[in-house]
Amino acid sequence: MQNILFDINIILDCYDSERLACFPTSKCALDLVTESILYQAYISSASLDNIEFLKNRALKQSYPETIAAERQELTVIFIKELLTHVKLAKTPSYIDIDYDDIEDSLIIASAKAHNAKVITRDKDMIKKYPDIALHPDDFFTST
């Protein structure tokens, strides 16, 4: 079984209709991994709070009439749904932090801890970590 860790941008692409229209291969990759017995899907535990924040902000932008408590409830439902499809990959307690992009270094550390590949649209991450990070389009050509 191959471990695949999804970057935040891929997760958000899959659950937002405007983003999905622009980046359909993100959802194709997530669906392939979560529906196959050949893969185990992960997100970094260090990404969970960012996903919560970004989803809540997207709900506020899309539905400005909602109150904060409603958006928080919808965000919790979203995260619970997400976690039925992916596991949380631990972030090791001792890592070399890349201060140019702390978020990326945490995601990469989580992927390394689980011997996982990272699917991302982050060109800088792909360039910096070509042995572990790949674009969703490239995931299909490498499988």
The closest alpha carbon to 3, from 84, 118, 95, belongs to: 118
3-state secondary structure of 43: strand
Q: Which fold has domain 2-142?
A: Rossmann fold (3.40.50)
- Give the pLDDT confidence of 84-140 residue by residue, as tens digits: 999 999 988 777 777 788 889 999 999 999 999 999 999 999 999 999 999 999 998
Rounded distance, CA 33 to CA 65, Å? 36
pLDDT tens digits, 35-92: 999 999 999 999 999 999 999 999 999 899 999 999 999 999 999 999 999 999 998 8
In the sheet with 116-119, reading across from the earlier edge strand, the strands are 87-89, 39-44, 2-6, 116-119, 133-134
At position 129, the amino acid (one-letter code) is: Y
The Cα 56–Cα 53 span in angstroms is 5
What per-residue confidence (pLDDT) applies to 92?
80
Q: What is the pTM of this model?
A: 0.91
Domain positions in the chain = 2-142
SS (H, E, C) 69-122: HHHHHHHHHHHHHHCCCCEEECCCCCCCCCCCCHHHHHHHHHHHHCCEEEECCC
Predicted local confidence at residue 74, as pLDDT: 94
In terms of phi and psi (left: phi > 0; alpha: psi -120 to 50; beta: otherwise), the region of 84 is alpha
The first and second tokens of residue 22, run together, are 């622009």
pLDDT at 143: 59
Residue 65 has a CB neighbour count (10 Å cut-off) of 6
Looking at residue 12, its pLDDT comes to 93
CA distance 15 to 27: 9
